[in-house]
Amino acid sequence: HMAIRSKSSHDYLRHNKVKLVRGGAEYFQLLDQMISEAKESIHLQTYIFDQDETGTAVADALIKAAGRKVKIYILVDAYGSQGLSDEFIDRLKEAGIYFRTFQPLFKSKRFYLGRRDHHKLVVVDSKCCTVAGLNISTRYNDTPEGPAWMDWVLYVEGEVAPALEEICKSRLKLRR
């Protein structure tokens, strides 16, 4: 067990099981397993969610989970995930998934001003979670052409999961 600092209470959360997971295929296999085993809820927040092979596989797993009546909340950054088509987003929404973008304050073809949401969190059933530098994109996955960019993921089961879920919920209420 490892003590993890809680931002809200400044106390240590002592009841957590922590595992360091390599990015690439190992992370996306873990993510698929977490989604497949979800029973109540999934919060997924990321900067980039690409409509590529990896993004489509994650979307398909989320849609299956929604079919099992799992409540799913997705928040992506409007700038980082601007490549998602309306059809892709509609497919998620039609499955009953709550999908939202973190909006820019101002954007035109030549100028951009706004805050970004760089969260890369997944919380399942308020029991397990990942905190990562990885986005949902094949660029972060291993492919036959080569390994993914080197990155690490912290997988945690325990007290920190409900705290991270509260952070996810608070971000969903932002209207930027």
How confident is residue 171, by pLDDT bands cut at 50, 70 and 90? confident
**Cβ(30)–Cβ(141) below 8 Å:** no
How many other CB atoms are found less than 10 A from the CB of residue 123?
29
Q: Which residue in this structure is represented by tokens 């997924």?
A: 44
The one-letter code for the residue type at 1 is H
Residue 119: its pLDDT value, please? 73
Question: Cα separations (Å) of 169 from 37, 84, 98, 141?
Answer: 21, 22, 12, 27
Token readout for 15 is: 């009841």
For the segment 41-61, the average pLDDT, to the nearest whole number, is 96
Distance between CA atoms of residues 134 and 147, nearest Å: 14
Q: Which helix (H) or strand (E) holds 112?
A: strand 112-113
Residue bearing the bigger pLDDT, 106 or 37: 37
Give the model confidence (pLDDT) of 1-15 as tens digits.
455 554 554 455 678
Question: Cα separations (Å) of 25 from 3, 59, 93, 154?
Answer: 28, 16, 27, 15
Residue 104: its pLDDT value, please? 58
How many other CB atoms are found less than 10 A from the CB of residue 66?
20
- Which pTM was predicted? 0.84
Give the model confidence (pLDDT) of 103-154 as tens digits.
755 556 665 555 555 678 999 999 999 999 889 999 889 988 888 877 899 9
